[in-house]
Amino acid sequence: MSVLVLGSSGLVGRRLVARLAADGHPVVASDVVPPVGGELPGVVYSRADVTRLDRLISVAQEHDVTSIALLSYIMGPLMSPDHSDIPLACDVNVTGVTNVLEAARLAGVGRVVFLSTVGTYGPQRIYGDRPVAEDEILAPASMYGRMKALNESICDRYAALYGLEVVKVRPSSILGPGSTIWPSRFLERIAVGDVGLVPYAPEAGDNVIGVADLATLLTRLLTGERPRSSTYLASGHNVTMAELAGAVRQIVPDARIEFPDPDRRPSYPSTFDNSRAVTEFGWKVADLLETVRAHLDDVRAEVGLPALGGVAG
């Protein structure tokens, strides 16, 4: 009985594999690229491409997989309006996700946890001033968000048709080294002494969640008792860009931060309500300063720089 992590070499996958292994769960890590930083002791590594249904079935059966973390996705390139390899994106993001659900059905896997996104929602103005929760209407504005919304619909269909237990998790902007989303790139530049470029206006809002906190929630969903709901928001801190910059300056007082596009706003909501996961699982999110500091120090460690000093008063 083991947990299969698909997309194990990515930002979330690396942290999730480490967390599962540390908690004593048998883990099969699978990706189309080698693990970043080498293999972890006690973890089974097995290459699998989500576009290959036969391979997915084989891995699930060979390792007696009882739950799957479905993280494999083309995200970063797809966020660019100039990305033109649509066939590949559809192969991985639509057919690949469906293949995983089909493999789980055929191999008798009990649960699939699908990493979706808050990008499945529309802009904040659709929902008014209230925090957005799980049961809101989905109105994605990006191709990435639309693909994830389609995936969620397919997940629901598999659950209805076959009784497959599928849990959808919608994280907000994930902080952690190696992420392709803008808050991560902003913090990575600060971590190595470059100018931090914030692409939204100072008063524009977003929500950030640390990758370690997300891995904690995913671990519970993969290995715990059956959750009461099929969808969970994995959101963290509702912050304006000015507030996020202020948190950075508490840790790096001389940080150079610029707002080159003061009229830009996110295409998804800026305020979320994560009380479903917090209430049901006792899930706790690290405070904002701790989350930002962890990101900065992890980036610095990867390039051989020392950890930062204490938070400025």
What φ, ψ does residue 247 adopt, rounded to 5°? -65, -40
Q: Does domain 2-175+208-237+268-285 have CATH number 3.40.1390.30?
A: no
CA distances for 143 relative to 81, 116, 223, 272, angstroms: 9, 13, 32, 21
Q: Which residues of 124-154 are buried (b: 16+ CB within 10 A; e: fewer)?
A: beebeeebbebebebebebbbbebbbbbbeb
Banded pLDDT at 16 (limits 50, 70, 90): very high
Taking residues 72-90, what's their average pLDDT? 81
Percent of the chain surpassing pLDDT 90: 83
* Mean pLDDT of the region 244-261: 95
Q: E-assigned strands of the chain?
A: 2-6, 27-30, 44-45, 65-70, 111-115, 165-171, 173-175, 196-197, 205-210, 231-234, 237-240, 257-258
Of the ranges 10-19, 82-91, 139-148, 281-290, which one carries the lowest mean pLDDT score? 82-91
Q: What is the pLDDT of residues 220-247, one digit of tens each?
A: 999 999 999 999 999 999 999 999 999 9
Q: How confident is the model at residue 312 (pLDDT cuts 50, 70, 90)?
A: very low
Please state, in angstroms and rounded to a whole number, the distance separating the CA atoms of residues 49 and 208: 30
Q: What is the pLDDT of residue 35?
A: 86
Place of tokens 């494999």: 72
| pLDDT top residue among 165 and 37 | 165
